[in-house]
Amino acid sequence: MLHRQRSTRPLRHHNTFSDILEVFHLTWETKTVAKNTEYIKLLPLHSSDSSRSSSQDMSLSSSSPVSPTCSSSRTLLTIPPELLLQILTHLPSSSSLHALSLTSRTLNTFVHTHAATITNSLVSFHHPKSSQILKAHHTENSAGFIVPTHPLVLAEERRIQRDKILASGCHCLPCRLMLHAGTSSSSDLSLRSSSEHDGLVGACLPAQSMVSTRGNECKARAALEKTVKLTEPGPQFLVFLERYGWEVEARWDIFVKQQHQTVKEEEEDVEETRAGDNGEEQKKKTFDFMIGNYCVRRFLEDTEKELTNFSTATKKAISPTLTIKERLRAKMNKHHQEKREKRRGAEAASRPPAARMFGEIEKTPTTTAVERDSWMKGLTWYHGSKYILDHEQVMADPVTGSDETMKTKSKQKTRNCIGGVKRGMRRVGSRIGSMFRRLRCVGDFQSLDD
């Protein structure tokens, strides 16, 4: 009996311990990874569960992250440049590049360096039809950007230059040649001024000592230097399509539909065929005038005005020579300007919509301030880069370990300074207290002598 009891007790103990291990194994699936590893270490006591525990341990080691610092260090600044470029080419709009360029100086430089690739990808991805209508492709002077080459765009840009020359009253030789070369009216979009005459207008821009026969410098140079063109390098064509691409497509569909109707109504008579050709040409001129006058000209004028205001405001903001009085005055003026803009926005929202001009179409109603802010941000990330890089809005690159240690040292220095002040105050208080105690003792001693 004793032998049987001795043999059964270890067996019962072993079965009880195995049951406990089975409970641990069942609770393993509902615990965290850190606790699971502790339970798995106990499982090899069972020969049948040893293989299962080893496989589970391997699966945990493979599913767990390699290191916490590896996953946390994956940012836009650490990924490969090719992958970052692919991410930027799939942004929803050009205004997203403005916010991205303000996050870091490194990203600002990267976006500006690869601006042509990013802009071309956004144009081909979001606006394929409208860019095809305006015949957008690379040119010799586009610096890698896709720019429109449609005659209506080129004619509108020349007409804006002629208007500036007439407004300035300049009589230098290049300006006079430009005026005589293009005498078309505002409703005529025929390209009678060749590229040679455009080069003559550009000749008065870079020359510092360009004088006319009367000995006067070109008066239109300052105005022509501020001229913004869709055919120049930059994201202005992308922003133009984001703002007016829907109108280009809508008017083109109307023109194509009318053209198909004209072809169906044509007869075999020669006279009617000629009349149909004249009508088709007139419809083409109407399309060119509507897009050129209502879209291209309006966009270029608004862009020039906004970029001029942006550069002026940014230069004033980063000027290091401003005194405290001038800075306070600038802040007060900015505050009053924001109040006036809010008041104007409220008045514009309550005011009934203005009557549109003949032939003008409008998109679904949106807030003008939001729309203006959106397309302006699509321009400032590129054209305002020379001002933004020095502006305080651009954040520095992410802090490294040395920067963290410097911050810790500065905090410790501040604490030490405060602690030193407290210790000094305690010393002064103790000295004053000891002085009063001595005076009291001296008074008691004199009273004893008496």
Least confident of 68-72, 287-291, 435-439: 68-72
Average pLDDT over residues 255-273: 66
Average pLDDT over residues 368-393: 62
Q: Give per-residue pLDDT as tens, 396-443.
A: 555 444 556 667 777 788 888 888 888 888 888 888 888 888 887 765
Average pLDDT over residues 246-256: 87
pLDDT at res. 356: 59
Report the chain's mean pLDDT, rounded to a whole number: 69
Average pLDDT over residues 81-97: 84
How much is the pTM?
0.57
Q: Give per-residue pLDDT as tens, 33-53.
A: 344 334 333 334 333 444 444
Q: Residues 85-110, buried b or exposed e (16+ Cβ, 10 A)?
A: eeebbebebbbbbbebbbebeebbeb
Average pLDDT over residues 97-116: 84
| H-helix segments, 204-235 | 221-225
pLDDT at res. 182: 56
pLDDT over 50 (residue 21): no
User: CA dist 247 to 76, 128, 130, 147, 373, Å?
Assistant: 36, 14, 9, 18, 20
Residue 297 is which amino acid? R
pLDDT at res. 418: 86
Domain residue ranges of the chain, discontinuous segments joined by +? 2-64, 79-111+234-398, 401-436
Residue 321 is which amino acid? T
pLDDT over 70 (residue 202): no
Q: Around 220, how many Cα atoms within 13 Å sit in the side-chain half-sphere?
A: 26
Average pLDDT over residues 1-10: 44
Q: How confident is the model at residue 194 (pLDDT cuts 50, 70, 90)?
A: very low
Which residues, including other chains, have CB under 8 Å from residue 53's CB and lie 6 or more apart? 40, 43, 44
pLDDT over 60 (residue 200): no
Torsion angle of C-alpha atoms 161, 167, 171, 176, degrees rounded to 10: 40
Closest CA to 121 of 87, 148, 98: 87
Q: What is Dmax (Cα atoms) for the chain? A: 148
- Could you give the percent of the chain with pLDDT greater than 90? 4
Which residues, including other chains, have CB under 8 Å from residue 129's CB and lie 6 or more apart? 249
pLDDT over 80 (residue 84): yes
